[in-house]
Amino acid sequence: MQAAAQQGTPLAGTQTSLAAHDLYCRRGDRPLFGGLNLDLSAGEALHLTGPNGIGKTSLLQMLAGLRRPARYGAHGEAAAPGKVVWQGSLGYLEDRTALDGDLPLAEALGFWARLDGHPAEFEPFGLSDLMDVPVRYLSTGQRRRAGLARLALQGAANWLLDEPLNGLDAEGAAMLERLIAAKRMGGGIVIIASHQPIAVPDHRTLDLREHPW
């Protein structure tokens, strides 16, 4: 699959790309998808679709380096696994926020802010009224906003987003769409796995049902 950037003009000097080839994935003895190739460049967005269990999260984990591509040989012979090569740093949003549940949100985010060397921001994510609330008491939507704040603190050039709309209301969804637009305008690549529609202009769609193994 070859995609072309169409969202705005990435900032000068930004160098991001993704080249992923010959990706095959199985869960246990069950093949999920195969023969998958991706070539993305600065400012592009890709929406992964398909029913639950088709392998969207597995693909994101593969792209993040958390899961190895399966080996595949056309006639049963051993074969090298596929490769994933990124240019530019990578941030991954999943259900787990990596925030200490016993700490107030401000302290939990502040811990990562110090490690990442960026000031902790709350207002852009609608978290200003929750700074003293322990993370474990946050609702699903509030946890998702906190996860987005944690992602932004990393300052990664490219984003992988796994079901980022989970728990978000209309205001939260609009915030997420603005964050994605800003990331793309800055030259970043954004890949979104979601069973819900998301307003991302000029994005490409990849339905994993079209890549059976």
Residue span of the structural domain in which 174 resides: 1-89+157-213
> Do both 18 and 84 map to the same domain?
yes
CATH code, 175 = 3.40.50.300
State whether 85 and 125 are in the same domain: no
Q: Say whether both 164 and 83 belong to one domain.
A: yes
Give the amino acid at 194: S
User: If you ran DSSP here, which 8-state letter would residue 2 be given?
Assistant: B
Determine the pLDDT at residue 80: 74
28, 123: one domain? no
| Distance of alpha carbon 141 from alpha carbon 157, whole angstroms | 24
Same domain, yes or no: 105 and 133: yes
DSSP tag of 117:
T
For residues 113 and 121, what is the distance between their CA atoms, to the nearest angstrom?
9
Residue 18 and residue 85 in contact, taking contact as beta carbons nearer than 8 Å: yes
What's the total number of domains in the chain? 2
Tell me, yes or no, whether 145 and 162 share the same domain: no
Residue 83 and residue 169 in one domain: yes
Q: Are residues 113 and 168 in the same domain?
A: no
Report the distance separating Cα 112 and Cα 118, nearest Å.
Answer: 9
pLDDT tens, N- to C-terminus, the chain (213 residues): 333 333 334 444 568 999 999 999 998 889 999 999 999 999 999 999 999 999 999 999 999 999 999 987 655 555 678 999 999 999 999 988 889 999 999 999 999 999 888 888 888 899 999 999 999 999 999 999 999 999 998 999 999 999 999 999 999 999 999 999 999 999 999 999 998 889 999 999 999 999 998
Alpha-carbon dihedral angle through residues 99, 97, 174, 138, given to the nearest 10 degrees: -60
Tell me, yes or no, if the pTM score tops 0.85: yes
How far apart (Å, rounded) are the C-alpha atoms in residues 190 and 176? 12
